[in-house]
Structures are given as structure tokens and as C-alpha cells.
Structure 1
Amino acid sequence: MKLAVFSAKPYDKTYLTNACASEIDNSAGIDITYHEFALSPETVPLAAGATAVCVFVNDSLNADVLSSLHASGVRAILLRCAGYNNVDLAAAERLGLFVANVPSYSPEAVAEFAVALIQTLNRNTHKAYNRTREANFALDGLLGRTLHGKTVGVVGTGKIGVSFARIMSAGFGCKVVAFDPYPNDEFKKHGAYVPELETLLCQADVVSLHCPLTPQTRHLLNAESLAQMKEGAMLVNTSRGGLIDTRAVIAALKRRHLGGLALDVYEGEGALFYNDHSGTIIDDDELMRLTTFHNVLVCGHQAFFTEEALREIADCTVRNLADFVHARECKNSLVPQGGGTLASKDSVPIRI
């Protein structure tokens, strides 16, 4: 059996190869081919001869791509991430494809990075670092705010949101409030729920997004909701770029209503992130405009990027593959499978 891995970086090769060696029975005969390219309509032919493909957050798996994969013999889609907004699940179900994700991997990794973004932007450590390298030790322009006692709003209280709430409450002494239509008892140990998103936005000094991208959550932070935020508040997004309307957030920054913005994700990241574009001209005017603000941080979708998380992602991905190979029930399957040979997933509410 052949596995085609797309958007493969050197670290993907290392961790997936190690995971296959320990998780997959050698008798299964898994032959892995790594492709640095993202899966797209143009690169689908690279999957020819493969039984399964392994993809990441910016690979495209729309109906046409899935049909092409199915026609070439692919029967399993392995996502080495939690989000699946880039997969047409209805089309996958029609085609009878096995689709499985990694629903949870080191939630602390993402939560800790969200905190790092907050503290970097709040205390201007990035500016101080650059200044001192030029022997400039002046403090003007580096003034921050003490987080202790501030109100932090968490939008989405899955495992990452709860981990983030724990850090901000127990670690920094913040008052934590959250909005989520599906309350999580674990979060209640660290904060309180509010009934409406608007209530959270008008109270919070820092708003951190920890929810999936769905049709219901796309542009959750738009011109209207941004205007509801407390003046001078900070907005942090380590989930999915499409949660924020970029044009609206630029307008909020320009009128000085939004006090700061920290992004590890960006709605137009697909054509840019995970690759070196330092020698080329970036034609994304909105992203370039964001980088001109002194109170904006943009990172390249690296919140997950720890040794522990990569190991968990690889191990879970390979376990999903093993379930497919052996026609076992897979708790991470995203679509119901016909014929009783492949696994199905219990219905899980979409959390925001």
C-alpha cells in the first residue's frame, strides 16, 4: 500500500517515518512518498497509485480534488491537523472515502503560544530585542500593561481554550470569561461563561480565539463585532485566519479602536505560509498593510510547532492509517463509512 504525503517538510518526514516504524505492522507494507507541494487541483496527479494521502491545513480537498483522488485509487484521507474546513466532507461521504483527523494534539502548545503573543505585544519585547542589538536602551515606546486583574475573553472552550484559560487565570491572575454555545465543565474551573459574544467583547481587555472555522464562525470578528470590543483591547487569533475579517480589523486598527492584534493565522495564508518568500514580492496588500502597524504581530502558523505536538500528530495520524488498513473502528473518522468495513465517527457538536 502506498501513502502520499503532501505539504511535507523535513520535520514531517522525520516524525511520520518514526511513527510508522513504531505504529504500523511491517506486514502492512506501507510505502511512503513525500511531496513538498500542497495538494491542489494541479498536484492531484502526484497521488496516482496511492491508496491514502496525508495532508495539512492549507491543502485543498474540494469536491473536484476528492473526485480526482478517488478516480486515481485513493481511498483514505489522513489530516495531520484538527481542523477540516479545507475538506468537502459531503463529497467525501458520497465517494465513500475514509477521512480522519487529529482532533487533539498538545493543546498546551497552542495555548502557550497564544500567551507568548500576548506578552510579546503587550510588553513590546520584540521591539526591545531589536533596540538593544543596536545599543539603544531607551524605554520610550515600550510601555505595557500589567495583566494581573485584567479581564481575558476566551471564544471557544475546547481543550486549547481551557488550557489557555488555566494559564491566564492561575498563572496571571486574570478574570477569565468565555463564550461557547456548548459549555465545558472543565472551563468552569477557571472562569465563567457569558450568554452572548457581545457581552464578552465589551468586557474583555484581551480576546483570544480558540474555535474552528465553519460557515457559522467565518468572519466571527467583523466590523460590527469589532466595534463592540472594549476600546484599546487586544485581539489574538491562533485558530483559523477566516475567523477574522481582515479588512474590518485593519479599519479598527486605523481608527485606533483596537489596541493590538496578534495573529498566528491569516485568512489568505494558503498561498504564503510554510514557505520562504523573502526573495519575492508579496502581492497580498492586506497582509502587507497589517505588517506596517506597530501594534500588530503576525507569525506563520507556528503555535502547534513543538516537539511534543509533532510527535502526537504523527502518532495519531499513523494510528488512523492503521485503523483504515485493518478496517477497524476509528474514533477520529470524520465521515460515516458504508458497508461496515470502515469506521464511523460519533456526532460531535461544532464548538465555538
Structure 2
Amino acid sequence: MKIDFFSAKKYDIDFFDIANKTTGFEINYHETHLGPHSVNMVNDADAICVFVNDKLTKAVIEQLAQKGVKIIALRCAGFNNVDLEAAKEFNISVCRVPAYSPQAVAEHAVAMLLTINRKTHKAYNRVREQNFSLNGLLGYNLFGKTVGVIGTGKIGKAFIKIMLGFSCKILAYDVFPDSELEKNGVTYVPLNKLFQESNIISLHCPLTKENHYLINKESINIMQHGITLINTSRGGLINTTDVIEALKSKQIGALCIDVYEQEETLFFKDLSLEIIDDDKIQRLISFPNVLLTSHQAFFTKEALEEIANVTINSISKIDQNVMPQKDSVMLT
């Protein structure tokens, strides 16, 4: 089994090399992401392993099929970057890692919320400069606040359990309500009601055609003035232009994002010596009430171990014509 591995970072290589010891696959690591510009790099591979910003369009998948690729292994939960219908058409199996560490993403969302609220990042920098003033660092208690959670799968559920620990009231929206959460006091409501009544809104849903730009001018306008918005899911859930306008008008009081709709040209790279021509990301960075991290929420030791182990195991099972069943790993 030969695997071409795209968007490879040092930490990917470290964890996958350990996971691969039991299988002995031949893995060729490529730092570049996979797309129309790089598909010709695939050579004599049985499988490819890709991440969130690799672009597997129909044209790319057709070329992969022509090269003899039989497996597309996503080392992430989301799959909006893969044309699944094309994969079926060209008889390529697609697998993913649907539940590598819900706690990792949920805890990062909470960390961002606490940081933007209590302004610990600003306080840290002040004290290092011997500035012990509290002016401008005022926050609010999470205790008793209403938190709206959109998407109550494994990550949303983990986030909710943490927020219940702060004695928050939880409003939730999901097409498949969770009875266990309802027993624990979570109230499922229509989306508009969640927008209207929440003090804090956190997104924990996959990106689909139906929810693209879920957060837009219309939905923002029915939210409470000064809403705190968190997105650790997919950048395309938020219309960045509309969010910038809402930040300027103070309709959005605080924004925490670990994802960005144009992140493939920015995230996972050191651009500290470059001129970034993305005006939207530059505008977001300029706001003092915006906290932005570069798709870091998944980045824990436990998550990377699970990602590597599940991905290698899935490729091995498919190669042996044994379909992996763990938590709906298979997409095609």
C-alpha cells in the first residue's frame, strides 16, 4: 500500500509514522495541499491522505482515478472539500475521522470564550510591560447566561456539558435532537428563537449547501445587541463581510473564530514576513474584540493520536475489503 500524504506538517509526520509501524505502508509526505495545481504529484499511489484545505473537485478526483487511486482518506471530520458524487462515480472509497477528540475542539471554544470575555490575552501583555491597570479589561459572568449551540453532535455535546458546568442556560438547534441533553436541561428551539434569546452563540455543525453563510446580515440583525459569536467548525458558516459590518456597528460585541472561509491561503503557514493581501482577514485582526486562531482547536496530543490511528486503520481495512464501521468512518 502506497499513500501520498498532502498538507503534511512535522506533527503529522511524527504521529503518522508511529501509527504506521503496525502496517508498514509506504507514505510519501507532501507539504503542499492537494488541488488542480498539485494532483500530478500523485504517482503510483493506492491512496491519498488529505486535510481540511485540500480541494478534491470532480476534475481532481477523475485524475486520481486515472492514476489508480482507490482510497481518499480524510484525516478530519468535515468533508465539504470533497465531491462525494464524483468519488462514487469513479469508484473511489472515501473515509474520514468523525470523532477524533470532541473534547479538544469544545475546550478550545471555551478557552476562546473565556479569553475574549475576561481579556486575559490583553492583561498578559500589559503586565509584561509593567502596566497593572484594569481599565478596558471589564468582562461579564458566564454564570446564568443563555448560550445558543448550533449543532449538538459529539463536539457540540462536549461544549454544552462544559457550559452547563458554568450554570449557563442552554438553547440548542439540531435536526436530530439529543434526548440525553434534553434530560440534562438543554432546550431545543427553532433557529430564529436561538438567535433572538442567546447571549452567546457557538457553532458546532458541519458545512453544507443548506447552512452556507448561516451567519449573515439577516440572522445577525435578529440577535441580541452585543452578541458573542464563536465558530470552531467551518469558515463558510459565516459571511465575513456581514460580520465585519456587524462588528463596526457593535451588533456583534465579540467574535471568536478558529476557522475562516478563505483560510486555505493563510492557515498552517508562517506569513510573518509576507504582505497579506486578504483585506477581510486584515480587517478582522484589527478589531480589539476579535480573537482569531488558525484552525488550532483540534490540536492536542490525544486528537492527533486518534486521527493517525483511525486513518491508518481505515485505509488498512478498506485495502482488505473490510469496511470500517467505527462511528460512520465511511462516506462512500
> SS at 1:38's partner residue?
coil
**Match for residue 236 of structure 1?**
230
Letter in 2 for 1:309: A
Between the aligned partners of 2:220 and 2:249, the Cα distance in structure 1 is 12
Superposition pairs for residues 1-352 of structure 1, below 5 Å?
A: 1-22=1-22, 24=23, 26=24, 30-169=25-164, 171-331=165-325, 332-335=329-332
Q: Structure 1, residues 259-310: CA drift from partner, whole Å, max 9, x if none?
A: 1000000001011100111110111101100111110011000000000000
What is the CA distance between 1:14 and its match in structure 2? 0.9
Letter in 2 for 1:124: K
Between the aligned partners of 2:288 and 2:53, the Cα distance in structure 1 is 28
> SS at 2:4's partner residue?
strand
What is the CA distance between 1:125 and its match in structure 2? 0.5
Distance 1:191 1:160, change over 3 A: farther
* 8 Å CA contact retained: 1:92, 1:99: yes
* 8 Å CA contact retained: 1:209, 1:238: yes
Between the aligned partners of 1:240 and 1:72, the Cα distance in structure 2 is 31
Between the aligned partners of 1:188 and 1:130, the Cα distance in structure 2 is 41
How well do the aligned residues superpose, as a CA RMSD in angstroms?
Answer: 0.9
Between the aligned partners of 1:294 and 1:104, the Cα distance in structure 2 is 33
Between the aligned partners of 1:301 and 1:32, the Cα distance in structure 2 is 24
> SS at 2:49's partner residue?
strand
Between the aligned partners of 1:188 and 1:195, the Cα distance in structure 2 is 11
What is the CA distance between 1:118 and its match in structure 2? 0.2
Between the aligned partners of 1:19 and 1:189, the Cα distance in structure 2 is 39
Between the aligned partners of 2:129 and 2:33, the Cα distance in structure 1 is 40
Between the aligned partners of 1:43 and 1:276, the Cα distance in structure 2 is 21
> SS at 1:108's partner residue?
helix
189-198 vs 118-127, greater mean Cα deviation: 189-198
Between the aligned partners of 1:278 and 1:304, the Cα distance in structure 2 is 23
Percent identical among aligned pairs is: 50
315-324 vs 78-87, greater mean Cα deviation: 315-324
Between the aligned partners of 1:250 and 1:314, the Cα distance in structure 2 is 37
What is the CA distance between 1:194 and its match in structure 2? 3.3
Between the aligned partners of 1:226 and 1:79, the Cα distance in structure 2 is 33
Unaligned runs of 5+ in 2: none
Letter in 2 for 1:163: A
**Match for residue 339 of structure 1?**
none
The list of structure 1 runs, each at least 4 consecutive aligned residues, that deviate by more than 3 angstroms after superposition, is none
* 8 Å CA contact retained: 1:3, 1:31: yes
Q: Structure 1, residues 198-219: CA drift from partner, whole Å, max 9, x if none?
A: 1011111110000000001100
Between the aligned partners of 2:98 and 2:185, the Cα distance in structure 1 is 24
What is the CA distance between 1:182 and its match in structure 2? 1.0
Between the aligned partners of 1:52 and 1:190, the Cα distance in structure 2 is 43
**Match for residue 345 of structure 1?**
none
What is the CA distance between 1:235 and its match in structure 2? 0.1
> SS at 1:131's partner residue?
helix
TM-score by length of structure 1 reads 0.92
Q: Structure 1, residues 217-256: CA drift from partner, whole Å, max 9, x if none?
A: 1000110001111111100000000000000000111111
Unaligned runs of 5+ in 1: 336-352
> SS at 1:259's partner residue?
strand
Between the aligned partners of 1:301 and 1:329, the Cα distance in structure 2 is 30
